[in-house]
């Protein structure tokens, strides 16, 4: 129910979810090594289960699996970052339009709750948690559009965006998403598909603008790159 994933829930899914949340909230930095033994000890399961969880996250591009080396929190390249937001630009605006046409009062309430949580987290200084709520806002819109397949893609893209923000966000940019989210919410509540689509498009462009995709990542992918040749 919570996850929407088709089949049954196993311990591996549970662990994958916890790790995904930690990555999403920036508690695990890009590049962090995820040792199988260590994770097994933490969660009280064997490496078998941990490996299943890691494989899953690898497929979602949240971690990178390198053969005989282990698992690392992913470090999207600048190119990947651009691609992720181009994919979002393809999917989310028209999904927002569909959502506007279908949104019920209960849906609007759920969206408002995410905005509230985002505000609260930001006030409390939990930027990671605020980002998480912001991501849930986007996923909720996809869910309202009643397109599970697209929603799944968007969920994955949102998660990867969190990694991208961790690497490329330039602090001077405001990243005050709740403003844009509030405008979107209003459009959805008014069932104004045109405006919702346009707002989402602009919101995604703003997001990309708040990134610095010209310079090197703030936590560089390789020492060679970091130290300049």
Partner DNA sequence: TTGGACAAGGTTGTATACAATCCTGTCGCC
Partner DNA sequence: GGCGACAGGATTGTATACAACCTTGTCCAA
**CA distances for 200 relative to 9, 89, 97, 117, 135, angstroms:** 33, 8, 9, 20, 13
> Cβ closer to DNA: 17 or 128?
17
Which residues in this chain contact DNA in the complex, by CB under 7 A? 10-12, 33-37, 44-49, 51-52, 65, 67-71
Question: Which secondary-structure segment (H or E) carries 73?
Answer: strand 70-73
* Among the listed residues 29, 124, 148, 226, the single contact to its own copies using CB under 8 A: 148
**Tokens 């994770």, located at residue:** 39
Q: Under a CB-based contact definition with an 8 Å cutoff, are residues 161 and 85 in contact?
A: yes
What does 49 bind: its own copies, DNA, none (CB cut-off 5 to 8 Å by kind)? DNA
The site that binds its own copies (CB under 8 A) totals a number of residues, namely 31
Q: How far is the CB of 201 from its own copies (least distance, A)?
A: 13
Does 55 interact with its own copies (rule: CB under 8 A)? yes
Where are the alpha helices (H) located in the chain, listed in sequence order? 11-24, 36-43, 47-59, 78-102, 105-123, 127-144, 148-168, 177-189, 193-209, 223-226
Round the CA-based radius of gyration of the chain to a whole number and report it.
18
> Cβ closer to DNA: 34 or 164?
34
What does 47 bind: DNA, its own copies, none (CB cut-off 5 to 8 Å by kind)? DNA
> What residues make contact with its own copies under the rule CB under 8 A?
6-8, 10, 51-52, 55-56, 58-61, 64-67, 80, 83-84, 86-87, 90-91, 94-95, 147-150, 153, 157
């Amino acid at each position: 129910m919570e996850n929407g994933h088709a089949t049954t829930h196993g311990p591996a899914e549970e662990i994958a979810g916890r790790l995904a949340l930690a990555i999403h909230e920036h508690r695990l930095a890009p590049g962090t090594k995820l040792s199988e033994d260590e994770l097994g000890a933490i969660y009280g399961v064997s490496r078998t289960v941990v490996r299943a969880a890691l494989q899953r996250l690898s497929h979602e591009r949240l971690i990178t699996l390198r053969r005989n080396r282990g698992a690392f929190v992913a470090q999207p390249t600048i190119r990947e970052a651009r691609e992720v937001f181009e994919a979002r630009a393809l999917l989310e605006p028209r999904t927002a339009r569909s959502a506007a046409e279908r949104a019920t009062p209960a849906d609007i309430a759920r969206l408002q709750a995410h905005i509230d949580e985002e505000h609260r987290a930001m006030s409390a200084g939990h930027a990671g948690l605020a980002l998480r709520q912001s991501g849930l806002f986007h996923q909720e819109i996809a869910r309202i559009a009643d397109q599970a397949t697209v929603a799944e893609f968007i969920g994955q893209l949102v998660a990867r965006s969190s990694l991208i923000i961790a690497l490329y966000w330039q602090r001077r940019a405001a990243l005050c998403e709740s403003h844009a989210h509030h405008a979107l919410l209003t459009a959805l509540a008014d069932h104004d598909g045109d405006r919702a689509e346009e707002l989402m498009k602009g919101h995604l462009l703003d997001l990309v603008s708040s990134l610095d995709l010209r310079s090197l990542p703030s936590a560089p992918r390789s020492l060679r790159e970091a130290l300049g040749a």
